[in-house]
Structure 1
Amino acid sequence: MFDIKSFYEAKSVADAVDALVKDPDAEIISGGTDVLIRVREGKDAGRSVVSIHNLQELKGVKLLENGDLWIGAGTSFSHITNDPLIQKYIPMLGEAVDQVGGPQIRNTGTIGGNICNGATSADSASTMWTLEAVAVLEGPEGERRVPVSGFYTGPGRTVRERTEVCKYFLIPRESYEGWAGHYIKYGKRKAMEIATLGCAVRVKLSEDKTRVEDVRLGYGVAGPTPLRCRKAEEGLKGCAVADQEAVAAFAKAALDEVNPRSSWRASKEFRLQLIEELAKRAFYEAVRKAGGEVNA
């Protein structure tokens, strides 16, 4: 049994916000794969929950008139992976969330919950950073937009207020059109594992596919929050995709922008080794997916 004081199923986002305002002890719940675990462990026991799980307005993927991709916060990982628009425009995100937990978790857990949980190990997080996604929240004061890169404030903490509902995410057209990417999750086993480290690389190549026009490098579990290595990115722009020295320098430069810690999953030193190695592997795979050729 879960120690929950009350359960309310919201009829709309506005209704959910109203319920959260009226009950200062209430917490939002969608898929529940994180919230219910905290309740079971006693961390959030005895609280009220406001469910947005069945709100259709929070589900699905759409291509907007301006070319931006709209991803409902209540969309499950399985639906994201299998959505035709995701597969066509940003398959990297579908591949990343397909590494979350097992099938039951992926069928229930949502992209909004994964981001709003604030965990640096979230498999969607580093990819969403490299996609320059924007989170759209609604609260008592109305709607506001927050770049995912500014969403995290610390381990398990975000800028989302308790009375706010994450409605959807926007992926700008310029962040996926002409780009390709790859996400690597490192864990002690291939399934049902929280990431020891996550690495996401996106590239935009020149027309002849021989040079790097732009690149983005994101990590999870390389610091207290997900992060981007922007200085490392700048160093690789304009370089030939086959320039192994430039790629090695790109991967090594990332070490100056991360702050991993030792934990029971891995030591800081091992994570630093992963940070450097996975950057190269993810880059070369992203180049291959973008149509380039490398000898690495």
Structure 2
Amino acid sequence: MFDLQGFHEAKDVADAVQALTANPNAEIISGGTDVLIRVREGKDAGKVLVSIKNIEEIKGVKLLDNGDLFIGAGTCFTHLTNDPLVQKHIPMLGEAVDTVGGPQIRNMGTIGGNICNGATSADSAAGMQVLNAIVCLTGPNGERRVPISEFYTGPGKTVREQNEVCTGFLIKKEDYEGFSGKYIKYGKRKAMEIATLGCAVMVKLDKEKKHIEEVRLGYGVAAPTPIRCPKAEESLKGAACTDTERIENYVNIALTEVRPRSSWRASKEFRLQVISELAKRALKEAIVLQGGQINA
């Protein structure tokens, strides 16, 4: 049985904010794939749960008039993977969340919960980093928007206040248009596995598809929080897609920007090896997806 003090089914975002504000011991539940586990283990025992599961306004993916994409925080992984707008504009993110757990988890778990839990192993986290996603939070004082690069403050910690509801994520048109992307998850098995390491790369090539105009490199489980590697990204600007020396240099620079640790899943030394390999592999696959040529 779950040790709960109370349960409130919010009818809309304002109602959820009001319920959270009225009770400092309250926390949000949506899909419940993480929250209920914590409650069952006694970590969140005695909490009041405020459910945002049935708030339709925070579900789905929308293409805004200015070309930006808005992903509702209550969108489950299965819907995200199969959404036509995601498949057309940001398939990398859909592929990333399709590696989460099994079908049951993907049918219940939401993108909002995956990001707001603050876990560096979240499969959506590296992809949202390279998409420069903006986190939309609504609280008693209205809405505020936080760049994903400023959202995480430590392992399992974010800037979201207890009485704020994450309503969704904004991805600007210039952050996805003209890019191709690839997410690679490393784990000990292919399904039902928490990432030992996750790597996301986005690339924009020139018109001739021979040189790199921009590259973004993001990781999960390579540091206490999901991260980007800006120095490695800068090192590849203008590089030929076939320039193996520049690519090796980019990998070496990335290794100076990560901070992996040893855990029961993998040693620090092993993670560094995977970090270098995935940086190279994801980059090459992203280049090929955009029609570029690489040295095999």
Q: TM-score range by the shorter chain?
A: over 0.9
Residue 12 of structure 2 corresponds to 12
Aligned ranges for residues 240-259 of structure 1 at < 5 Å? 240-259=240-259
Q: TM-score, normalised by structure 1?
A: 0.99
Give 2:10's aligned amino acid: A
Output the CA distance in 1 between the equivalents of 2:53 and 2:151: 22
Cα-to-partner distance string for 1:47-86 (whole Å, 9 max, x where unaligned): 1100000100010001000100010000000000000000
Cα-to-partner distance string for 1:71-115 (whole Å, 9 max, x where unaligned): 000000000000000000000000000000000000000000000
Give 1:60's aligned amino acid: G
Output the CA distance in 2 between the equivalents of 1:11 and 1:140: 16
Residue 32 of structure 1 corresponds to 32
Give 1:213's aligned amino acid: E
Cα-to-partner distance string for 1:147-188 (whole Å, 9 max, x where unaligned): 111100000000000000000100110011000000000000
Output the CA distance in 2 between the equivalents of 1:191 and 1:2: 28
Q: TM-score, normalised by structure 2?
A: 0.99
CA-CA distance at 1:279 after TM superposition: 0.2
CA-CA distance at 1:295 after TM superposition: 2.0
Residue 173 of structure 1 corresponds to 173
Q: Percent identity?
A: 71
Residue 66 of structure 2 corresponds to 66
Output the CA distance in 1 between the equivalents of 2:149 and 2:53: 25
Output the CA distance in 2 between the equivalents of 1:153 and 1:243: 36
CA-CA distance at 1:294 after TM superposition: 1.0
Give 3-state SS (helix, strand or coil) of 1:254's partner: helix
Output the CA distance in 2 between the equivalents of 1:174 and 1:186: 29
Output the CA distance in 2 between the equivalents of 1:132 and 1:110: 19
Give 3-state SS (helix, strand or coil) of 2:112's partner: helix
Aligned ranges for residues 1-296 of structure 1 at < 5 Å? 1-296=1-296
Unmatched tracts of structure 1, length 5 or more = none
Output the CA distance in 2 between the equivalents of 1:261 and 1:282: 22
Output the CA distance in 2 between the equivalents of 1:42 and 1:290: 48
Give 3-state SS (helix, strand or coil) of 1:92's partner: helix
Output the CA distance in 2 between the equivalents of 1:83 and 1:295: 34
Output the CA distance in 1 between the equivalents of 2:196 and 2:249: 23
Output the CA distance in 1 between the equivalents of 2:12 and 2:20: 12
Output the CA distance in 2 between the equivalents of 1:177 and 1:40: 43
